[in-house]
Structure 1
């Protein structure tokens, strides 16, 4: 079978058309069964005994996460999600509190930065919101911030950021680089970023459970105290096991094959939806991501469209409000994010529903 057929057959049938992997993808039978079996085992032998039995599988999950992010298993900690991971990084930081990020930075990330007392400074970007590495390098040299934070793939726009290039500039100036890979992990190549820390969630393109994520950090970036707190924290082992299984499935499928397929999915989605009257596709056709952002016709509210698509057509998408990127967005948009199993027929159903 093809990658798409394998991916679809490993999951329960959809109750409609799922085009919302950037919000929450569909777990496999194996990931669901792993979490369920652990919960049952906790009831049988107690939570701590069950956690000890799960340790090898969790270590395999950390090893897979390390391989996918360019770190080692020992560098990886499980978290409750991406926002939790950023809070850990910023809460542990003992240096000056200036952090450089792009104008299109994810709104909730900006809130976390503000809560931890950080002042944000802008990184230069082009009209598409893409980082300008050369200009950024000059800016870092002239007025270096304490930290640089880059969201590799936005929640509001499927533009892939040149993280490896800014990482080189950060190394030249001794500035730690933190990378939000919530949308990029298991979607793009995250192993060659050169980041000092990279964090992600489980529920998006990795197709793991909700309420769990991961944080990979170079040795010495986090304090020993914080690493100890992370290792001793009360955790949802069942969810961590579900993520570990999902990561194993992703590695077995072939990350490069998944990346190529998702790039093709994005190109086909944008090509088809560009023909829908009144709607405007934001990303270039050949942008190597599977996220497509649609600007609606004047007077049309994406939130209402999302609700109608679910109620009348059983098609799941996302309304991206301006709070997702308050420094860049001026109006809400509709976000379409199919996974590797999407069919042309399903994309056609969305195009027809938007046209109608």
Structure 2
């Protein structure tokens, strides 16, 4: 697969990994700069007080908001820092005043379904093909015949590396006058999320953006949220130091070049699926050329992927993700294992994962 300069720079900017980290869809590795920025802000709070330090951090935070606008292509967006993707969706739905019918994919993320249900939404399913990807023609017919009040669209699921056509569903929603909220938790800094044309796009910090845990971002078209909700977001007690770290991580994405990052991650995904398809007994769910860096593995009969994940960590220092059916309760009938390297993965890393997976499986 080779080692493009973007991989070398990404690796050099971070502490050496203790083993093999192929878990970026859960939590990527932060850079020295991100770690230092958050720590320096905490130190500044101790020196001058939290509110004074927060005022001093305002230019960095605004740079982070500007980076979100670039990555989403929403040049006039109002950008808010959140505690993560679930928090952003909760804010959006809590502010919603329209009818409570929503259309989403059959493979919608389980916690999102729970939040939608808690807010009283009647959930309808958008039609998909055999791989779980949106069937655009069928969706157009469904939305025209019985339009929901809202479409909630997840560009890349937690249970699968199948990329969804976010720009196409946005065009359908615009033509039908249907508001669109986009969950880009797995998409931002991974896929092309610019100029989708959504009313709101939200994401977390810890995944492909490689920022701190416990924070995220929400970008909305101007005046989408009520004044009361905007005030609440602005006055909620928050961890400014982590917002500073996230802002630095977003800047690193722009400095690396979003198109270069996306191209490298496509190559990483293809290389990962090619290597892991050779492990006896395990089945790779995604096509080898699926344009994402997420690889989902279906285990052999009788093999528990949760136990496999634990043994990979304990015996081989390899970090992967256990994917339980609760991540996509309308789709998944059995658990799986997820492998999601970032741009710095090497051929040797992937071979180590394959060898270790074969070893712990027997």
TM-score category of the 2 structures, normalised to the smaller one: over 0.9
Q: Where in structure 2 are there 5+ consecutive unaligned residues? A: none
Alignment equivalent of 1:184, drawn from 183, 187, 203: 187
Match of 1:261 in 2: 264
Aligned residue number for residue 123 of structure 2: 120
Offset at 1:220?
2.6
Shift of 1:355: 1.3
Q: Which residue of 2 aligns with 1:340?
A: 343
Q: Is the 8 A contact 1:62 1:73 kept in 2?
A: no
Is 1:19 aligned to 2:22, yes or no? yes
- Decide which moves more: 303-312 or 186-195: 186-195
Whether 2:286 is the aligned partner of 1:274: answer: no
Tell me the alpha carbon deviations over residues 227-286 of structure 1, each in whole angstroms, 9 at most, x when there is no partner. Answer: 111112111100000000001111000110000000000000001111111000000001
8 A contact 1:86–1:112 mirrored in 2:
yes
Alignment of 1:105-184 (within 5 A): 105-184=108-187
Aligned counterparts of 1:45 and 1:122: Cα–Cα separation in 2:
52
Match of 1:34 in 2: 37
Question: Where does the alignment leave 5 or more consecutive residues of structure 1 unmatched?
Answer: none
Cα distance change of structure 1 residues 73 and 44 upon mapping to structure 2, 3 Å threshold: farther
**RMSD of aligned residue pairs (Cα, Å):** 0.8
Q: Distance in 2 between matches of 1:314 and 1:183?
A: 24
Shift >3 Å, 4+ stretches:
none
1:63 aligns with 2:69: no
Match of 1:88 in 2: 91
CA positional deviation for 1:74:
5.0
2:58 counterpart SS class: helix
Displacement after TM superposition at 1:73 (Å): 6.5
CA shift, 1:152, in A, is 0.3
Contact 1:280 / 1:295 at 8 angstroms: preserved in 2? yes
Aligned partners of 1:59 and 1:73 also within 8 Å: no
> Which is worse superposed, 66-75 or 316-325?
66-75
* 1:43 aligned onto 2:41: no
Partner of residue 245, structure 2: 242
| Rounded Cα–Cα distance in structure 2 between residues aligned with 1:134 and 1:95 | 26
Structure 1 contact 64–73 (Cα < 8 Å) conserved: no
Q: Residues of 1 paired with 2:77 and 2:281: CA distance?
A: 51
2:106 corresponds to? 103
Is the Cα contact below 8 Å between 1:34 and 1:245 reproduced in 2? yes
The 1:74–1:48 alpha-carbon spacing in structure 2 relative to 1, beyond 3 Å, is farther
Deviations 1:278-322 (Å, cap 9, x if unpaired)?
000000001000000000000001000000000000000000000
Specify which of 229, 233, 237 is matched with residue 226 of structure 1. Answer: 229
